[in-house]
Protein backbone atom coordinates (compact mmCIF):
# COMPACT_ATOMS: atom_id res chain seq x y z
CA UNK A 1 0.00 0.00 0.00
CA UNK A 2 1.42 3.37 -0.95
CA UNK A 3 0.83 6.71 0.74
CA UNK A 4 -1.97 7.71 -1.63
CA UNK A 5 -3.99 4.58 -0.83
CA UNK A 6 -3.57 5.10 2.92
CA UNK A 7 -4.64 8.75 2.73
CA UNK A 8 -7.69 9.33 4.92
CA UNK A 9 -10.36 11.07 2.86
CA UNK A 10 -13.07 11.24 5.53
CA UNK A 11 -11.55 11.94 8.92
CA UNK A 12 -14.83 11.61 10.80
CA UNK A 13 -15.50 8.07 9.57
CA UNK A 14 -11.83 7.16 8.90
CA UNK A 15 -12.45 6.24 5.25
CA UNK A 16 -9.31 5.97 3.12
CA UNK A 17 -8.71 6.92 -0.49
CA UNK A 18 -8.30 3.23 -1.35
CA UNK A 19 -11.72 2.35 0.12
CA UNK A 20 -13.45 5.14 -1.80
CA UNK A 21 -11.55 4.46 -5.03
CA UNK A 22 -12.11 0.69 -5.00
CA UNK A 23 -15.81 1.05 -4.13
CA UNK A 24 -16.36 3.59 -6.91
CA UNK A 25 -14.46 1.41 -9.38
CA UNK A 26 -16.32 -1.78 -8.45
CA UNK A 27 -19.86 -0.36 -8.30
CA UNK A 28 -19.63 2.57 -10.77
CA UNK A 29 -21.84 4.48 -8.34
CA UNK A 30 -22.96 8.06 -7.78
CA UNK A 31 -21.59 10.22 -4.99
CA UNK A 32 -24.66 9.50 -2.91
CA UNK A 33 -24.36 5.75 -3.35
CA UNK A 34 -20.64 5.91 -2.60
CA UNK A 35 -21.44 7.83 0.57
CA UNK A 36 -23.90 5.13 1.64
CA UNK A 37 -21.49 2.29 0.80
CA UNK A 38 -18.39 3.73 2.51
CA UNK A 39 -19.85 6.20 5.07
CA UNK A 40 -17.57 8.93 3.66
CA UNK A 41 -19.38 12.18 4.35
CA UNK A 42 -21.65 10.77 7.04
CA UNK A 43 -19.58 11.81 10.03
CA UNK A 44 -19.75 14.68 12.47
CA UNK A 45 -18.85 17.34 9.91
CA UNK A 46 -21.55 16.14 7.52
CA UNK A 47 -19.22 15.92 4.53
CA UNK A 48 -17.85 19.45 4.60
CA UNK A 49 -14.25 18.23 4.53
CA UNK A 50 -14.45 15.20 2.21
CA UNK A 51 -17.27 15.78 -0.26
CA UNK A 52 -15.12 17.56 -2.85
CA UNK A 53 -12.60 14.70 -2.87
CA UNK A 54 -15.35 12.07 -3.11
CA UNK A 55 -16.94 13.95 -6.01
CA UNK A 56 -13.56 14.17 -7.80
CA UNK A 57 -12.97 10.42 -7.40
CA UNK A 58 -16.41 9.69 -8.87
CA UNK A 59 -15.77 12.05 -11.80
CA UNK A 60 -12.46 10.34 -12.59
CA UNK A 61 -13.78 6.76 -12.43
CA UNK A 62 -17.40 6.69 -13.55
CA UNK A 63 -17.84 7.40 -17.27
CA UNK A 64 -20.19 10.18 -18.38
CA UNK A 65 -20.15 11.84 -14.97
CA UNK A 66 -19.71 15.58 -15.05
CA UNK A 67 -18.71 17.91 -12.28
CA UNK A 68 -21.55 18.29 -9.84
CA UNK A 69 -23.92 15.73 -11.42
CA UNK A 70 -25.07 14.48 -8.05
CA UNK A 71 -22.85 16.21 -5.51
CA UNK A 72 -22.84 15.12 -1.92
CA UNK A 73 -25.22 17.05 0.24
CA UNK A 74 -23.87 18.40 3.46
CA UNK A 75 -25.79 19.58 6.48
CA UNK A 76 -24.86 22.65 8.48
CA UNK A 77 -25.60 22.46 12.18
CA UNK A 78 -29.28 22.86 13.02
CA UNK A 79 -28.56 25.75 15.31
CA UNK A 80 -25.12 27.29 15.80
CA UNK A 81 -23.99 27.21 19.41
CA UNK A 82 -21.10 29.21 20.85
CA UNK A 83 -18.54 27.68 23.18
CA UNK A 84 -19.74 30.09 25.86
CA UNK A 85 -23.24 28.61 25.73
CA UNK A 86 -21.90 25.06 25.95
CA UNK A 87 -19.78 25.85 29.00
CA UNK A 88 -22.43 27.76 30.96
CA UNK A 89 -23.54 26.38 34.26
CA UNK A 90 -27.36 26.25 34.39
CA UNK A 91 -28.07 25.57 38.06
Q: Where are the domains of the chain?
A: 3-87
Evaluate if pTM is beyond 0.75. no
In the structure, what pLDDT confidence band is assigned to residue 20 with cuts at 50, 70 and 90?
very high
User: What was the pLDDT predicted at 3?
Assistant: 78
Q: Which pLDDT score, from 0 to 100, does residue 8 have?
A: 92
**Which is more confidently placed, 78 or 46?**
46
Neighbours of 32 (CB within 10 A): 15
Residue 70 has pLDDT above 60, yes or no: no
Comparing 76 with 6, the larger pLDDT belongs to 6
pLDDT, mean of residues 37-64: 84
Handedness of CA 57, 33, 17, 47 (dihedral sign): positive
Q: Where are the beta strands (DSSP E) in 1-91?
A: 8-10, 15-16
In the prediction, which pLDDT does 21 show?
92
Q: Distance between CA atoms of 8 and 70, rounded to whole angstroms?
A: 22
pLDDT score of 62 = 81
Please state the rounded mean pLDDT for residues 5-24: 90
Specify whether the CB–CB gap between 20 and 50 falls below 8 A.
no
Amino acid sequence: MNNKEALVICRCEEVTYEQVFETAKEHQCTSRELKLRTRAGMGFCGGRTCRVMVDRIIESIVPNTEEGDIPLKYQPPIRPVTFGMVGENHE
